[in-house]
C-alpha cells in the first residue's frame, strides 16, 4: 500500500531543482537495507549514503562540540546517570556533519541521496532510548534544531513495515545478533515522524513488505523519484 502525505515541499526555502534527499524508515526487519541496495543498483543517480561519505575526521569537531555543549549540564544535573554511548555519539555527529555535507553539494546536481538509518531514525532513537540528559532543556533545544534543519532537507520518506511475526522471523534469520528494544521502535519512529510532519509536510510513501516484493516497491519508489524531479523542473520557482 502507498500513502502520500503533503506535497513533498518545504514552505520556506527556495528550490531550483537539485538533489533529492530520501530517508528509508521502518522497524527492524522491515527491509530497509535491502530496498536501499535495490534502488542503488537500478538508478545510477543514487549517491552513496552520507555515512559512507563521511570520515571519522569529518565527525570529530562535532563530537568535541557536543561534549563542550552538554557536559556542563550532565555534570550539574545528570551525573548519576550514564553518558552517551559510542553509537549515540556517532549518531549525534552524523546528524550535524551530514547537514554540512549536503550544504556543500551543487544545487543543480540531479542525484538522489537515499538514507538508510538516516537522520529521523537516529533522532528517534536518541529521543526514545538515549541517556537521561536527553530530557534536559539544553539537549532538547539541540534536538529540535536539528529536526527542523533536516526537515528542510528531506524531500521524501519511504516507510516500510510488515506484520510483527514476519519482522521477528527476519530478525532471527540474520547472521548477526540484533538488539530488540523493550519499547517498540515502530512507535518511536512514528512519534518522531509526526513531529517532523508538523515542521514540514514531506511526501511519505508507505509499503507493507509482507505483501509487496522488494522489486515492486523499488518500481514505485523510482517512479516517485522521477515524478519529483519532473515536478521541480516544471516549476523553477517552486518552494522546497
Q: What's residue 10's pLDDT?
A: 39
Q: What's residue 80's pLDDT?
A: 96
pLDDT bucket at 106, cuts 50 / 70 / 90? low
Are 156 and 203 in contact by the 8 Å Cβ rule? The answer is: yes
Q: What's residue 132's pLDDT?
A: 97
Q: Is 192 exposed, middle or buried (0-12, 13-18, 19+ CB in 10 A)?
A: buried
pLDDT bucket at 202, cuts 50 / 70 / 90? confident
pLDDT bucket at 13, cuts 50 / 70 / 90? very low
pTM for the predicted model, two decimal places: 0.81
Record the cell numbers describing residue 164, joined without a space: 510483527
Q: Return the half-sphere exposure (C-beta side, CA atoms, 13 A cut-off) of residue 186.
A: 11
Per residue in 73-98, pLDDT tens?
999 999 999 999 999 999 999 999 99
Residue 234: pLDDT above 90? no
Q: What's residue 108's pLDDT?
A: 61
Q: Distance (Å, rounded) from C-alpha 108 to C-alpha 4? A: 26
Q: What's residue 2's pLDDT?
A: 46
Per residue in 108-137, pLDDT tens?
667 899 999 899 989 999 998 999 999 999
Percent of the chain with pLDDT over 70: 81
Are 206 and 1 in contact by the 8 Å Cβ rule? The answer is: yes
Are 133 and 81 in contact by the 8 Å Cβ rule? The answer is: yes
Q: Which secondary structure element, helix H or strand E, spans residue 159, and what is its range? A: strand 156-161
Highest mean pLDDT of the ranges 105-119, 147-161, 167-181, 218-232: 147-161
Average pLDDT for 141-152: 92
pLDDT bucket at 173, cuts 50 / 70 / 90? low
Length of the chain in terms of residues written: 240
Bridge partners of residue 113, in order along the sequence: 21, 47
- Chain Cα centroid distance, residue 206: 15
Are 51 and 94 in contact by the 8 Å Cβ rule? The answer is: yes
Highest mean pLDDT of the ranges 143-152, 169-178, 183-192: 143-152
Summary mean pLDDT of the chain = 82
Average pLDDT for 164-180: 67
Q: What's residue 16's pLDDT?
A: 39
Q: Distance (Å, rounded) from C-alpha 59 to C-alpha 183? A: 29
Percent of the chain with pLDDT over 90: 47
Average pLDDT for 143-169: 89
Average pLDDT for 63-70: 97
DSSP symbols for 78-132: ITTSPPP-HHHHHHHHHHHHHHHHHHTS-TT---EEEEES-HHHHHHHHHHHS-G
Q: Are strands 46-47 and 20-25 parallel, antiparallel or unpaired?
A: unpaired
Amino acid at each position: 500500500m502507498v500513502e502520500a502525505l503533503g506535497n513533498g515541499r518545504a514552505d520556506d526555502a527556495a528550490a531550483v531543482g537539485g538533489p533529492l534527499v530520501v530517508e528509508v524508515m521502518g522497524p527492524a526487519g522491515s527491509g530497509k537495507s535491502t530496498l536501499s541496495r535495490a534502488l542503488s543498483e537500478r538508478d545510477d543517480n543514487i549517491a552513496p549514503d552520507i555515512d559512507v561519505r563521511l570520515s571519522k575526521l569529518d565527525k570529530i569537531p562535532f563530537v568535541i562540540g557536543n561534549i563542550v555543549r552538554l557536559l556542563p549540564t550532565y555534570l550539574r544535573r545528570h551525573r548519576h546517570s550514564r553518558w552517551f554511548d559510542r553509537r549515540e555519539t556517532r549518531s549525534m555527529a552524523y546528524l550535524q556533519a551530514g547537514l554540512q555535507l549536503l550544504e556543500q553539494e551543487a544545487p543543480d546536481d540531479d542525484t538522489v541521496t537515499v538514507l538508510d538509518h538516516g537522520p529521523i531514525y537516529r533522532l528517534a532513537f536518541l529521543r526514545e532510548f538515549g541517556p537521561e540528559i536527553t530530557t534536559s532543556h539544553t539537549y532538547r533545544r539541540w534536538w529540535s534544531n536539528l529536526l527542523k534543519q533536516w526537515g528542510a532537507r528531506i524531500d521524501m520518506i519511504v516507510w516500510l513495515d510488515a506484520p510483527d511475526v514476519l519482522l521477528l522471523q527476519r530478525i532471527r534469520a540474520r547472521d548477526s545478533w540484533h538488539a530488540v528494544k523493550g519499547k517498540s521502535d515502530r512507535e518511536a519512529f512514528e512519534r518522531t515522524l509526526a513531529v517532523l510532519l508538523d515542521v514540514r509536510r514531506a511526501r511519505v510513501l508507505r509499503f507493507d513488505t509482507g505483501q509487496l516484493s522488494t522489486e515492486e516497491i523499488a518500481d514505485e519508489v523510482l517512479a516517485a523519484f522521477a515524478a519529483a524531479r519532473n515536478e521541480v523542473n516544471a516549476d523553477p520557482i517552486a518552494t522546497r
